[in-house]
Each structure stands twice: as C-alpha cells, then as structure tokens.
Amino acid sequence: MDNKEHDWIDVNKGIIIKIPKLKFICGPAGIIIKKISEDIVGENYHIEEYPDRLELFVEMPGAKKDSIEIYSTERIVYIKAKLERKLPYRSEDYEFKIKLPYEIIPEESKAKYENGILNITLKRKVTPTKIKVD
C-alpha cells in the first residue's frame, strides 16, 4: 500500500486517518486526536492594525511566562515559549514566525502575557499621513 495514495494508513493494527490540520490515531486503546503543529502555525494569532501601531495577539495557553522569548526585525516577529506542563492537545513547545504587514520599530515594542494570550504592541515605523480632500 502506498501511503501517498490513501487518506488512511494501517500502522501496527491501528489506523491513522489524515485530515488537514488534525491527525486521528485509532487503535486498540481508543482514538487520539492530535493537531499537526506545522499546519496550524498562523492560526493561533491575529493582528489588529492602527495608524500608529500593530497589536499582535498570540494564543499560548499553558506557556511559562518566564520562558517566553520574543525577537523582532522590522517585518518579522519570532516567538518561543515552553509549556508549563504537558497539555493533552499539545505536545510541543510554542514557536511562531509571524510576518508583519508593515515595518515596525523593534526597540519600541512592548509585550504582556495574561490568561494564555500574549499581546505585543508594535510601533509602526512610518505612520500614514492623512491627506486633506478639497
């Protein structure tokens, strides 16, 4: 059986059903549902745009606050964090690479982690100028 041609694979008397973003592992012990992390990067955050800044909200439930590392260039934010304890739906630590829609000033960024949400305020490098209409 060629694994590439089928949506399911028989593995040691169990079955792996491949569905985008989820993996169902069915075996003698029951069913395990696992998110495939490489497919869901980008879905655990959103960006709000304002004239002078970007607000980045990243969902990281169970992350250790003191393990959060944030690095930034003018167009990309990198985030890493370790889990406080192993979660049933997540087996890996958090790691994000987020491309920004505008250039920012990394040195003027601020971050706050509360209730599983990391909020990063990023000051825009060039703020838009309002044009008067005559």
- Give the pLDDT score at 27: 52
More confident residue, 75 or 88: 75
Structure tokens at 25: 């592992």
- Give the pLDDT score at 11: 45
Q: What is the DSSP letter of 116?
A: T
- Give the pLDDT score at 6: 45
Distance CA 39, CA 90 (A): 13
Q: Which residues contact 1 (CB under 8 A, 6 or more apart)?
A: 9, 10
Tens-place pLDDT, residues 51-70: 899 999 999 888 899 999 99
The domain segmentation of the chain, as residue ranges, is 3-36, 41-123
- Give the pLDDT score at 76: 94
CATH 2.60.40.790 matches 41-123: yes
Distance CA 55, CA 83 (A): 23
